[in-house]
Amino acid sequence: MDSSTETDTVQLDPEQPFWERFYMVAPLVIIGTRNDDQETYNLAPKHMVAPMGWDNYFGFVCTPKHKTYRNAVRHGVYTVSYPKPSQVVLASLAAAPRVGPPDGPRRKPSLDQLPTFPATEVDGIFLEDGYLFLECELDRRVDDLGENSLLIGTVQAVHVEKKALRVSEQEGDVIRDNPLLAYLSPDRYAAIKDTNAFPFPAGFEK
Distance, CA of 95 to CA of 97 (rounded, Å): 6
Other CB atoms closer than 10 Å to residue 128's CB: what's the count?
14
Strand partners, 134: 80, 158
* Structural contact between residues 28 and 83, judged by C-beta atoms closer than 8 angstroms: yes
Cα dihedral 78/82/87/93 (nearest 10): 30
Nearest one of 130, 127, 122, 131 to 156, comparing CA atoms: 122
Cα 85–chain centre separation? 14
pLDDT number for residue 104: 58
Which domains occur in the chain, in start order? 21-192 (2.30.110.10)
How far apart are the C-alpha atoms of 59 and 138, rounded to whole Å?
Answer: 9
Side-chain half-sphere CA neighbours of 98 within 13 A: 15
Give CA–CA dist 182/47, Å, rounded. 9
Torsion of CA 158, 70, 145, 135, to 10 degrees: 0
Helix (H) or strand (E) run with residue 144 in it: strand 132-145
Which value, in Å, is the radius of gyration of the alpha carbons in the chain? 19
CB atoms within 10 A of CB 116: 17
E-strand ranges in 40-176 read 41-46, 49-51, 57-62, 77-82, 116-118, 125-127, 132-145, 148-160
Fill in the DSSP letter of residue 77: E
- H helix count then E strand count, the chain: 3, 14
pLDDT digits (tens), the chain, 206 positions: 555 556 789 999 999 999 999 999 999 999 999 998 878 999 999 999 999 999 999 999 999 999 999 999 999 999 999 999 999 999 998 887 766 666 656 667 777 788 999 999 999 999 999 999 999 999 999 999 999 999 999 999 999 999 999 876 667 788 999 999 999 999 999 999 999 888 989 888 87
